A = this chain, B = another copy of it.
Amino acid sequence: MKKVTIQDIAKELNISFSTVARALNDHPAISEATKKLVRKTAQRLNYRQNKLASSLRSGHSNTIGIMVPSLDVSFFSSVVHGIEKIMNENGYSILLYQSNESYESEKKGIETFLNSRVAGIIASVAKETQTHEHFAEIQRRRIPLLFFDRALEALQVPSVTIDDYKGGFLATEHLIRQGYKRIVHITAGQTIGIFKERLRGYVNALKLYDLPVDKNLILYGDFSLDFGRQCVKELYQNNIPFDAVFALEDFTAMGALQQLLDYKVHVPEEVGVIGFANESFGALVTPGLSSIDQQTVHMGEAAAELFLKMLRSEDLYNNLPERIVLAPHLIARASTARRDNSKFSRQYPQESEGEQLI
Which residues of A approach B to under 8 Å, CB–CB? 1, 46, 48-53, 55-56, 61, 63, 66, 70-72, 74, 77-78, 80-81, 84-85, 88, 93-98, 100, 111-112, 114-117, 137, 140-142, 254, 258, 261, 280-281, 284-286
Contact = CB atoms under 8 A, between A and B. Distances in A.
Contacts of A51: 115-117
A141 B4 CA distance: 11
Contact of A95 (B70, B93, B140): B93
A5 to B, nearest CB: 12
Number of copies of this protein chain within its complex: 2
A267 to B, nearest CB: 11
A48 B141 CA distance: 11
Contact of A84 (B96, B116, B281, B285): B96
B280 A48 contact: no
Contacts of A61: 52
29 contacts: A1-B141, A48-B114, A51-B116, A51-B117, A52-B52, A52-B55, A52-B116, A63-B95, A63-B116, A71-B77, A71-B80, A74-B77, A77-B77, A77-B81, A80-B96, A81-B98, A84-B96, A85-B98, A88-B97, A93-B95, A93-B112, A93-B116, A94-B95, A95-B95, A254-B284, A280-B281, A281-B284, A284-B285, A286-B286
A78 B98 CA distance: 12
Contacts of A70: 81
A256 to B, nearest CB: 13
Contact of A142 (B1, B55, B97): B1
A96 B66 CA distance: 10
A92 B115 CA distance: 13
Nearest to A112: B93
A81 B261 CA distance: 34
A284 B142 CA distance: 47
Contacts of A286: 261, 285-286
